[in-house]
Amino acid sequence: MAGFVPKHATLPRVIAITISITFSYLLAFNYQDNNTIGVIYFLVSEVLYLGFIFLVLSEHGYRHWFIKRWGNQEEGYLSFEAVLGILFFHNTASLGFIAATTHGSLFNFVDREILQIILIVMILAGFFIKIWSAKVVSIDIYYWKDMFLGKKITEFVETGPYKFLSNPMYGIGQLQAYALAIWYGSEIGLLAALINQVLIFSFYFTVEKKFIKRIYLNSAT
């Protein structure tokens, strides 16, 4: 979930995630009140992350280029996963950073202790649902390996949170982004969280859901 898959760890991946962590730390330490950088970081991360999955995972997307470039499906997927992991990290980091750098007084009318309790519940709920969902479908599905390969790699899941919600990761699993924005009283942070969620749902409805119907549901009928 943080953009690093231990079982696929390589030296370049370790270096890349270390650089990413260092970069985000330096931003937070040196530019914590620079809302311009906060907005730019979010927009760049969002365009790269959403643009990447739209362009690569579409039915006739650039996943075919990855496979051709690295000679086989598995090596192509691992390269895709490495890039996606870094984009995952910066997408998440940018949501927190934009909330912090655009802090305001949006929820100052609420007692801070009460607000803190509410937000802790939101964060825990968001992470719990996301982790539970990832565990149920497997980390490979979390990184869209089935979509990258264009085929079913496991059975269609209707257990765990999927018994109650059609897409828990993109729904409740996004609560922590809103919680951070509320804590900082950031209207822009809330808007960023909403934009991120709308875009990931747009990916789901225009690309991922079609894949699920074509590969999983059609093969089950």
pLDDT tens digits along 49-68: 999 999 999 989 999 999 99
Under a CB-based contact definition with an 8 Å cutoff, are residues 181 and 193 in contact? yes
For the chain, what percent of residues have pLDDT higher than 90?
Answer: 70
The pTM assigned to this predicted structure is 0.89
Cβ–Cβ contacts within 10 Å for residue 132, how many?
16
Cβ–Cβ contacts within 10 Å for residue 66, how many?
20
Helix (H, G, I), strand (E, B) or coil at 3: coil
pLDDT tens digits along 90-136: 999 999 999 999 999 888 888 889 999 999 999 999 999 999 998 89
Q: Which residues, other chains included, contact 37 with Cβ-Cβ below 8 Å and sequence gap of 6+?
A: 27, 31, 101
- Alpha-carbon gap, residue 55 to 91, rounded angstroms: 17
Strand positions, DSSP E, 73-205: none
